[in-house]
Amino acid sequence: MKTNQSKLIKKRSEIEKLRKASTISSALHSLAMSQTVIGKSETDLATYLNKQRECTKASGWAYPTIIGSAGRSTILHAKPTKKILNENELVLVDMGVKYEGYCSDITRTWPAGKKFSKEQKVIYQIVLNTQKECIKRVKPGVSLYDLDDFCRKDLLDQLRSKGIVKSKNIDRYFTHKTSHWIGQDVHDKCPYQYLDKSPVILSPNMCFTIEPGLYFKESKSKYEGIGIRIEDVIRVTEEGGETLSQVPKEIDEIEAIRAIKI
Ligand SMILES: [Mn+2]
Q: Output the pLDDT for position 218.
A: 78
CATH no. for residue 182? 3.90.230.10
71 C-alpha vs ligand 1 centroid, how far in Å?
Answer: 20
Mean pLDDT over 17-39 rounds to 97
Q: Kindly state the DSSP code that residue 238 receives in the 8-state scheme.
A: S
Cα–Cα distance for residue pair 205/52, rounded to 1 Å: 30
253 C-alpha vs ligand 1 centroid, how far in Å?
Answer: 23
232 C-alpha vs ligand 1 centroid, how far in Å?
Answer: 8
Q: Output the pLDDT for position 1.
A: 42
134 C-alpha vs ligand 1 centroid, how far in Å?
Answer: 15
- Residues 101-146: tens digit of each pLDDT: 999 999 999 999 999 999 999 999 999 999 999 999 999 999 999 9
In percent, the amount of the chain with pLDDT more than 70 equals 97
Q: Output the pLDDT for position 260.
A: 87
211 C-alpha vs ligand 1 centroid, how far in Å?
Answer: 7
32 C-alpha vs ligand 1 centroid, how far in Å?
Answer: 18
Query: At 4, is the pLDDT very low, low, confident or very high (cuts 50, 70, 90)?
Result: low
166 C-alpha vs ligand 1 centroid, how far in Å?
Answer: 28
180 C-alpha vs ligand 1 centroid, how far in Å?
Answer: 7
Average pLDDT over the chain, rounded to whole? 96
65 C-alpha vs ligand 1 centroid, how far in Å?
Answer: 11
Query: At 5, is the pLDDT very low, low, confident or very high (cuts 50, 70, 90)?
Result: low
Q: What torsion do the CA atoms of 174, 80, 53, 40 make, to the nearest 10 degrees?
A: -120
In percent, the amount of the chain with pLDDT more than 90 equals 94
- What is the domain extent for residue 166? 5-260
105 C-alpha vs ligand 1 centroid, how far in Å?
Answer: 5
Query: pLDDT at residue 262 above 90?
Result: no
231 C-alpha vs ligand 1 centroid, how far in Å?
Answer: 7
Residue 119 · residue 92 · CB < 8 Å: no
61 C-alpha vs ligand 1 centroid, how far in Å?
Answer: 13
82 C-alpha vs ligand 1 centroid, how far in Å?
Answer: 24
Work out how many domains the chain is built from and give that number.
1
Q: What torsion do the CA atoms of 74, 80, 84, 85 make, to the nearest 10 degrees?
A: 50
212 C-alpha vs ligand 1 centroid, how far in Å?
Answer: 10
Backbone phi, psi, residue 210, to 5°: -125, 115
- Residues 158-195: tens digit of each pLDDT: 999 999 999 999 999 999 999 999 999 999 999 999 99
Long-range contacts of the stretch 251-256 (C-beta < 8 A, 24+):
251/116, 251/121, 251/124, 251/125, 251/128, 254/33, 254/108, 254/110, 254/111, 254/116, 255/111, 255/114, 255/115, 255/116
179 C-alpha vs ligand 1 centroid, how far in Å?
Answer: 7
CA distances from 76 to 41, 51, 178, 199 (A): 19, 24, 13, 26
Cα–Cα distance for residue pair 232/179, rounded to 1 Å: 10
209 C-alpha vs ligand 1 centroid, how far in Å?
Answer: 6
